[in-house]
Chain A
């Protein structure tokens, strides 16, 4: 009995499917027209989908013969009436196709963006094919690129600093430092994305300057970079914390230098010694370091010593990132008449003792 019921049910299902298939094939559209639900055919390649609707036109031709009759006489003519009606078409009853399925796929009128590019969407029923609508799939929006020029952290003795770097084209660039009330919401940059912004009016203390690059159309997409500025007014106790003995390191060897107040109020003096090993000459100890810390925190120090007829000279540059740390590089050369010039370059770091 159950077998009979199952076979009967299967037969009913089969017949309903056949009837549905016949219903599909019975529709003869003279033309098909597809249209997106919104005017824009731009899509994003993040799986965005858009439903296309489809309408079909059906042309019906009817003929009607009008006749006038007498006893002996007849007159007649035939009126041909052509009616074109438009009706919505079930999207699942037509065959949809995409010219580039890697860009966009379509199923039952639902177009789904896959990757950036162009794809022509069309539909057909029987021998009738609709027009094509080209969808433009754009890349997924990303936050614009932004990079700052080093240093990202600086100690300085003046209330302004510069922020520079490279930003992605079309991004909206802004620079802010809320604690000091500085804000520039639309910083300009050159055609290659270079920008150079001066941040003024810094309040003393450790300040974080925020540089933000925002997507031109999607405000939720942005990139932020930060520059930390430790600003202290020279001569104040806070600033004078930098003075004292410092221990430098280069190539695993230590060197000592001292920072002291300068006779010029806006800067500090540096003095000390360093030893450098020159190939062919050997290690030269006691090379004098003499220089200053500029108001912007950069270091200008000269190296000088005479050693066995060699004139040792050079420069040591860098900056102090905090009141207790500094870093930079130095170059030195040893010159002696009749000898080839020997050059040397290396990095250094230092901490306050």
Chain B
């Protein structure tokens, strides 16, 4: 649902921009182009204790689409991440389990250069994160807990585009996302910001 809203917003903004350009002084032959791509990468949370708990992390899957002119694009990006690990159980002979799901929804601008394969992105990011903890001993119901976080932040990415036979290109991208802090959980513990770094690689079709 959120991805659809972002896509619609992108189309509206892009079409408006194109209309303004067409209504200008002299029509310029700047071709409006679209791109759509997919990537996979390794997401790393900036929280130090995340690595201690989530030893098993899945690949972060990324979908991106954009519209723009030659060197500037507006884009929308969706990224999801899943991790599984062991929660920390204190004062009981039980083994904890933890599950982390997080989705990022980004809209932003991508700037490219004619002379360089590099590009940069800046984006506004909203994120839904969910963490479930439990134990392998089902009778310990009290040790189950679920907590959701809805937050927002900004992201910045640096990528390099490598030409493949048109219209296909491949890219490698590093993105850093920084989210607002979320205060404290019900037990009074300060929850750190849940952004992170992702290094990904993928393909994009530019039309």
B-contacting residues of A (Cβ < 8 Å)?
Answer: 64-77
With beta carbons under 8 angstroms apart, the residue of B143, B144, B149 that contacts A72 is B149
- Interface of chain A, main secondary structure: strand
> A75 contacts which chain B residues (CB < 8 A)?
133, 142-145
With beta carbons under 8 angstroms apart, the residue of B90, B129, B186 that contacts A67 is B90
Against A, the Cβ 8 Å flags (1 = close, 0 = not) of B41-61 are 000010101100110000000
- Interface of chain B, main secondary structure: mixed
30 intermolecular pairs with C-beta atoms under 8 Å apart:
A66-B91, A66-B92, A66-B142, A67-B89, A68-B87, A68-B88, A68-B90, A68-B134, A68-B145, A69-B89, A69-B133, A70-B53, A70-B133, A70-B147, A71-B47, A71-B49, A71-B192, A72-B131, A72-B147, A72-B185, A72-B194, A73-B87, A73-B98, A73-B131, A73-B145, A73-B146, A73-B147, A74-B189, A75-B142, A75-B145
Complex-state Cα separation, A43 to B73, whole angstroms: 108
Q: How distant is B111 from chain A, measured CB to nearest CB, in Å?
A: 34
User: Judging by beta carbons under 8 Å apart, are B144 and A74 in contact?
Assistant: no
Complex-state Cα separation, A70 to B191, whole angstroms: 11
User: Judging by beta carbons under 8 Å apart, are B91 and A64 in contact?
Assistant: yes
Q: How distant is B101 from chain A, measured CB to nearest CB, in Å?
A: 12
| Chain B, 7-48, CB within 8 A of any chain A CB | 45, 47
> A65 contacts which chain B residues (CB < 8 A)?
90-91
> A66 contacts which chain B residues (CB < 8 A)?
89-92, 94, 140, 142-143
For the complex, count residues of B whose C-beta is within 8 A of A.
38
List the 5 closest pairs (A to B, CB-CB), nearest first. Answer: A75-B145, A77-B142, A74-B187, A68-B143, A66-B92
> B194 contacts which chain A residues (CB < 8 A)?
71-72
Q: How distant is A64 from chain B, measured CB to nearest CB, in Å?
A: 5
User: Judging by beta carbons under 8 Å apart, are A73 and B185 in contact?
Assistant: yes
Q: A68-B96, A69-B133 are contacts. A74–B90 as well, Cβ < 8 Å?
A: no
Complex-state Cα separation, A151 to B67, whole angstroms: 147
With beta carbons under 8 angstroms apart, the residue of B129, B135, B147, B191 that contacts A68 is B135
Task: Apart from A71-B47, A73-B98, A73-B145, list 20 A-B contacts with CB within 8 A.
Answer: A64-B91, A66-B89, A66-B90, A66-B140, A67-B90, A69-B89, A69-B90, A70-B98, A70-B147, A71-B49, A71-B53, A71-B131, A72-B185, A73-B132, A73-B133, A74-B185, A74-B189, A75-B143, A76-B143, A76-B187
A-contacting residues of B (Cβ < 8 Å)?
Answer: 45, 47, 49-50, 53-54, 87-92, 94, 96, 98, 100, 129, 131-135, 140, 142-147, 149, 182, 185-187, 189, 191-192, 194
Complex-state Cα separation, A68 to B132, whole angstroms: 11
Complex-state Cα separation, A66 to B94, whole angstroms: 10
Complex-state Cα separation, A303 to B156, whole angstroms: 158
Most buried by B among A66, A67, A71, A77: A71
Q: How distant is A70 from chain B, measured CB to nearest CB, in Å?
A: 4
> A76 contacts which chain B residues (CB < 8 A)?
142-143, 187
Most buried by A among B94, B135, B142: B142
> B189 contacts which chain A residues (CB < 8 A)?
69, 74
> B132 contacts which chain A residues (CB < 8 A)?
70, 73
Most buried by B among A69, A73, A76: A73
User: Judging by beta carbons under 8 Å apart, are B143 and A77 in contact?
Assistant: yes
Q: In the complex, what residue of chain A is closest to B49 when comparing beta carbons? A: A71
Complex-state Cα separation, A66 to B135, whole angstroms: 12
Complex-state Cα separation, A75 to B91, whole angstroms: 13
Q: How distant is A107 from chain B, measured CB to nearest CB, in Å?
A: 49
Complex-state Cα separation, A72 to B91, whole angstroms: 20
Q: In the complex, what residue of chain B is closest to A64 when comparing beta carbons? A: B91
User: Judging by beta carbons under 8 Å apart, are B88 and A69 in contact?
Assistant: yes
Most buried by B among A72, A74, A77: A72
Q: How distant is A72 from chain B, measured CB to nearest CB, in Å?
A: 5
Q: In the complex, what residue of chain A is closest to B93 when comparing beta carbons? A: A66
Complex-state Cα separation, A46 to B88, whole angstroms: 72
> A74 contacts which chain B residues (CB < 8 A)?
145, 185-187, 189
Complex-state Cα separation, A70 to B130, whole angstroms: 11
User: Judging by beta carbons under 8 Å apart, are A67 and B91 in contact?
Assistant: yes
With beta carbons under 8 angstroms apart, the residue of A64, A68, A71, A73 that contacts B89 is A68
> A77 contacts which chain B residues (CB < 8 A)?
142-143
Complex-state Cα separation, A67 to B133, whole angstroms: 11
Q: In the complex, what residue of chain A is closest to B54 when comparing beta carbons? A: A71
> B50 contacts which chain A residues (CB < 8 A)?
71
Q: How distant is A18 from chain B, measured CB to nearest CB, in Å?
A: 39
> A73 contacts which chain B residues (CB < 8 A)?
87, 98, 131-133, 145-147, 185
User: Judging by beta carbons under 8 Å apart, are A72 and B187 in contact?
Assistant: no
